[in-house]
Amino acid sequence: MFVAPMSPDEPRRLEALLRYNILDTEAETAYDDLVEIAAHIYGTPIALISLVDGERQWFKAKVGLDAEETHRDVAFCTHAILHDEVFVVPDARKDKRFHDNPLVTSAPDIRFYAGAPLITSDGYALGTLCVIDREPRDFEPGQYSALQALSRQVVSQLELRLYAMQMQDINARKDRFFSLLAHDLKSPFNVLLGFTERLQAQAATLAPAKIVAIVDGLHRASTQAHDLLANLLDWSRFQLGGMVYTPEDVDLNVAVERVFALLDQQSVEKGVALRSLVKTGTPVYADPPLLQSLLYNLVLNGIKFSSSGGEVTVACERDDAAARVAVSDRGLGIPAARQARLFDIDNYASTPGTAGEKGTGLGIILCHEIVTRHGGEMEVESEPGVGSSFYFTLPDKA
């Protein structure tokens, strides 16, 4: 018996198959109908939708066969997925690849086989739609295209099923995210309402120093609400594919100094120094507004989690292909258990700063989205009580 070889793309093909989350699922009418149609059109006693994983072929839908699966080594479909076209065996007893195959020498006594590969939109054959007879037969030229058409319908059902699962996941994540966000938005607006109500009730009797303190509080709460809403808007644009991305050559030192100027008041109020170790004229290839948002959120995060006397630094190393930027602080640090999930919207969480500043974690998630959009990678190194360093790469123009 000849065992079909595995293609060089087999690991990626298996990844694609697992992505559909279809193996070992219950029978579904959409797939059952397609094998019924195939068996009727071709007049065969057996028709299958077969999916090939690393060790077996598993039948998502079947007519005329009791088995749920077979070992991969004996599967005709492992041969079929190596081809782009319909794979036909007119008489398995006369084919040296299959004449001693146990599926030929014993039940289900395969003689004729025709299988159309189930090729996904990214080019991977997950399995086949096949028709099988216990008698030898020829396959007419016009029958090839019909079987291929049915196989495309199977793939369409797989794609629709995957899309529905993704939409369910997105909606669940969205609902959780907006529930948490609504809670976080209340905080700055409650502060704003509290200060304005006090001004409204006591403006005529408040001492100038009290009024100045209230105005400072209003400014901080307004800034917090503004930053949160700006990040939310940018994150939403990424999710909807509406974020404008126009990269160009940028002087990183200039971008860092601009962000430092924007955050000067916050850093002075907390007694946190901002220091750039980026050399003048250091080039990076980035979208200027997105780069500013990226740096702003990382530096602001460093200020938020630093105490008076702390320092936030920005440094950069370059090689021939990319810039690697580090934004570091000597602040609270991040517990190891949270570091692995820091960039995941499913683990969006509020963490107060050293001065009780409210925050959402959305800024860091947005930073990861921005770096990914640039084709780079982002990681964090952190130790509680010592501080954190966020690293990201910005590849040069290809």
pLDDT digits (tens, 9 = 90+) for 240-257: 666 778 899 999 999 999
State whether 21 and 160 are in the same domain.
yes
Query: Length of the chain in residues, anyone?
Result: 398
* 126 located within any domain: yes
pLDDT confidence bin for 190, thresholds 50/70/90: confident
Give the bridge partners for 389, in sequence order.
Answer: 328, 381
Give the domain-ending residue among 142, 165, 188: 165
CA distance 145 to 140: 10
CA distance 348 to 308: 27
* 3 located within any domain: no
State whether 17 and 152 are in the same domain.
yes
Give how far Cα 329 sits from Cα of 73, 82, 378, Å.
56, 53, 16
Residue 393's identity, in one-letter code, is: T
pLDDT at 26: 96
State whether 239 and 148 are in the same domain.
no
Residue 305 has pLDDT above 70, yes or no: yes
The domain that contains 262 carries what CATH number?
3.30.565.10
* 211 located within any domain: no
More confident of the two residues 360 and 289: 289
State whether 47 and 132 are in the same domain.
yes
Q: Are strands 311-318 and 125-133 parallel, antiparallel or unpaired?
A: unpaired
State whether 233 and 337 are in the same domain.
yes
pLDDT at 131: 98
More confident of the two residues 232 and 205: 205
State whether 131 and 244 are in the same domain.
no
Average pLDDT, the chain: 89
Instruction: Please write the tens of the pLDDT for every residue from 124-168.
Output: 999 999 999 999 999 988 899 999 999 999 999 999 999 999 888
* 186 located within any domain: no
Give the bridge partners for 117, in sequence order.
Answer: 128
State whether 138 and 258 are in the same domain.
no
* 83 located within any domain: yes
The domain that contains 116 carries what CATH number?
3.30.450.40
CA distance 131 to 35: 8
Domain count of the chain?
2
Give the domain-ending residue among 141, 165, 189: 165
pTM of model > 0.75: no
Residue 226 has pLDDT above 90, yes or no: no
CA distance from start to end of the chain? 49
CA distance 36 to 33: 5
State whether 123 and 253 are in the same domain.
no
CA distance 259 to 283: 17
Does the bond joining 45 to the residue before it have cis omega, within 30 degrees of 0? no
State whether 95 and 241 are in the same domain.
no
44: left (phi over 0), alpha (psi -120 to 50) or beta: beta
Give the domain-ending residue among 125, 141, 165: 165
* 44 located within any domain: yes
* 199 located within any domain: no
- CB-hemisphere CA count at 13 Å for 94? 8
* 188 located within any domain: no
Could you tell me the residue range of the domain that residue 267 belongs to? 229-395
pLDDT at 189: 77
User: Strand, coil or helix: what is 111?
Assistant: coil
pLDDT at 62: 98
